[in-house]
Every structure is written in C-alpha cells, then in structure tokens.
Chains A and B, each alone.
Chain A
C-alpha cells in the first residue's frame, strides 16, 4: 500500500517544486514537500503544548480532594431552561466533526484540480468553524455571566461528606413533603452570587427523579459524617484552578479554531481567484490548511475527553 502511494507522491511533488529541484538536494526528504513536512512538525510541537496544558489539568485535579463534576457544570443549552448534561457540548463536537469531513472533501476536490469543488467545501468548513466559535461564545457567556465562574473563582463545588442543608434561621431544611433535605458525599452544588457575595446555592435533589434544580437560600449546612461531623459550616467554593484551566485550555483551542477560520478564508479566496489552479500542484495549500484543521478537531477529541467525559 505504501509503495504505490510513494510512487504517486513523488510524481505529484515533482511539479510542486519545478523551481527548486526538490529542496535543493535532488530528492525530497520523506517524499513530502517542504511545506507539508513542516506543517506536520508544527502540529507535533503544538500537540506538546496542548498535552502540557491537559497534563497540568490532570496534575492539579489529582492534587485536590474534590473536583467539579462535568455533567453538573456543563449542562446549559440555548433557549432551554432545563438541565441537559453534556448535550450542548456534544452538539459542538458534531459541528467540528462535520467541518472536518467537509475539509477532507475540499482536499479531495483539490487533487482533481476542481476549483468550484474546493471553494464549495471550504465555505462549508468555514461555516462549521464559525458555528463552533459561536457555540463556545455561548458556553463561556453562560459560565461567566450566569454562573460567575472566572479564571480566579469557581463556584462549582462538591460536598466532602454527608450532611443536611440548613435554612437561613439555622433550622434544618425540609422538602415540601416534610422530609429532611439531605446531601451525600460527592454531590455537586453551584454557589449563587450577588454583587460579589455568595447568597445561596443550587443543587439536584437526588431523591427525586429528573434533572430538577433546587434553589436554596443561604449556604449553611451541617455535616453528619467525615472530619466535620456535627459541625455547621458554609458550603465552600470549588477548586480555584478549575476556572483558570477551563478558560485557558478551551480558550487556546478556540484561538486555534479562530485562526483556522481566518486562514481557511484567505485560502478559500485565493482558490476562488485561481491562484492555486495556476500552480498546478493539486491545491497543496488546501491540503496544508486541511492538516491544520484536522489537528484542531484532534485536539478537541482530547479536550472533550478530559474536560467533559472524565
């Protein structure tokens, strides 16, 4: 399989570099054009940057006694009041998969020297990238404006032991049916803030089915197990590092998508103008931006794994 493709690669690359006799050495290293090989090495170094970020996330997560639960944090959906864990981010993943697929089509049409095909599929790819960026803007806005998460503040916490919620007057909180409002170790809550002050919290009532959120005034609670058993304490903020890691890592990925959309647009305009048709090298520039664009999708596979699934 490799043999036949090698022969073909050699053939196409000959007219890639009519002017510079195959990297000046007479024979191309790895039978790839200079630009394509360097794109691969750039992507390798970029993969290390992202790996560094994601490993930092893992190390900090391992160092904390509790960590926010992704299916509790990422549960909002545009125009819907309900709590839909992970559904919106699944939509974002599909947007990236679709735009990756349209990119493959653009590269294929490039090999056939089909200008119209290249432009058509690249426009769809750009639209996919723009949709992803808008979705991310929605996600960030919800987290920052509605849920008060910033790079230095994380109101998503988890209980370190079993206990019971207390009312503002110190009495034990009860459901409408009179049963005590208890929580278990590991359950999530979101602190509500008003003018920079914590005013209350929201959580799921696990005794009831459905994803119904309960809004509770005040943050006082009494633990019944663990080191603080019998003590009345305030629900604390979650690990601060979570906010910084989330905004920096998804922001860095979003920046890659943004610059990808810019470069895709430039190359699409050039392709439409016939710049690459004149070069007669199978639209190699489209192939190079294609590599970059698939890499953006590849990184998202791991961001999705680390932030939303694990």
Chain B
C-alpha cells in the first residue's frame, strides 16, 4: 500500500496532514469564537441566517477533515475501489437517519409545547348542577344542553 510513493513523499504527506488538520481546527475555533461574540465585544454573527451559514461552514470543515483522515491517514485512497465503496457507501444511509430523526425531534418539541399551552389554558367553570359526560337521549328531557 502507498507503494507508488517514496519514503520522502510519505513523510511530506504526514507533515502536510499535520499542518492541514491543525490549520482547519484553528480556523474552526476562531470562527466559532468570533461568530458567538467572544473575540470582539459586540460583534456576533451566529444569529438568524448567519447561524445557518455558521453551521454549514462548521459541517463543511469537519467533513473535509474526515475525508482527509480516511483517504490519506487511513490510506483509503490507495485501496481497491471495491473496498472503498463497500465501506463508504453504507454511510449514505445516515443521510436519511439524520433527516428522519431531526424531523421527529422537532415534532416532539412541537407536541410538548402544545400540551404545555393547553394545560395553561383557562377553562370556563361548569355549573355544578349540570350533569357531566355523555347524556343519554331523553333521560333529562333534552338531548342538547
């Protein structure tokens, strides 16, 4: 494996990997601190639309780091195509898992909010002399109230 590379080339790749992963991590943290207003007082962009942009940027950086680790540190780039596909393709299932479970999570939240809202709603007091529940037709003379 990695047989087409000389020893010097291999060592150069290791150094490149160290620099790349280190640089991306530093950029990630600096952007995170800047976005959330910790670096410059009063400057904060992770709000509203900016928050989506921020999340997209962070996910992009992480996916690139993952790609670099798998393909160059774990030598996936030098394996047979079939091996790479048999390991990488199944992870595509996770795309649906993420969509489905996040959707489900939002729905739990919405229901919980609804229940809380209904619990706090004021209910009109019902007079005591009125029978409650289902009233058999004809028993109290009237079927409706």
A63-B106 contact in complex given A5-B4, A104-B73, A108-B11, C-beta closer than 8 Å: yes
- B109 within 8 Å of A by Cβ? yes
Bound together, the chains give a CA A117 to CA B41 distance in angstroms of 49
- Binary A-proximity of B1-34 (CB < 8 A = 1, otherwise 0): 1111001001100100110011001101100110
Bound together, the chains give a CA A159 to CA B142 distance in angstroms of 52
- A21 within 8 Å of B by Cβ? no
- A79 within 8 Å of B by Cβ? no
- Binary B-proximity of A94-123 (CB < 8 A = 1, otherwise 0): 100110110111001001100000000000
Chain A residues in 8 Å Cβ range of B106: 62-63
Chain A residues in 8 Å Cβ range of B82: 30
Query: 30 A-B pairs, CB-CB below 8 angstroms?
Result: A1-B4, A2-B81, A12-B1, A30-B79, A32-B79, A40-B83, A52-B97, A55-B97, A58-B102, A61-B105, A62-B105, A63-B106, A63-B107, A71-B33, A90-B26, A93-B25, A94-B22, A94-B25, A97-B18, A101-B14, A105-B11, A108-B14, A112-B7, A297-B73, A301-B62, A301-B66, A301-B69, A308-B32, A309-B58, A310-B58
Which residues of A come within 8 Å of B, CB atoms?
1-2, 4-9, 12, 30-32, 37, 40-41, 43-44, 47-48, 51-52, 55-56, 58-65, 69, 71, 85-87, 90, 93-94, 97-98, 100-101, 103-105, 108, 111-112, 209-211, 287, 290-291, 294-295, 297-298, 301-302, 304-305, 308-310
Which residues of B come within 8 Å of A, CB atoms?
1-4, 7, 10-11, 14, 17-18, 21-22, 25-26, 28-29, 32-33, 36, 38, 41-42, 55, 58-59, 62, 65-66, 69-70, 73-74, 77-83, 86-87, 90-91, 94, 97-98, 101-102, 104-109, 112-113
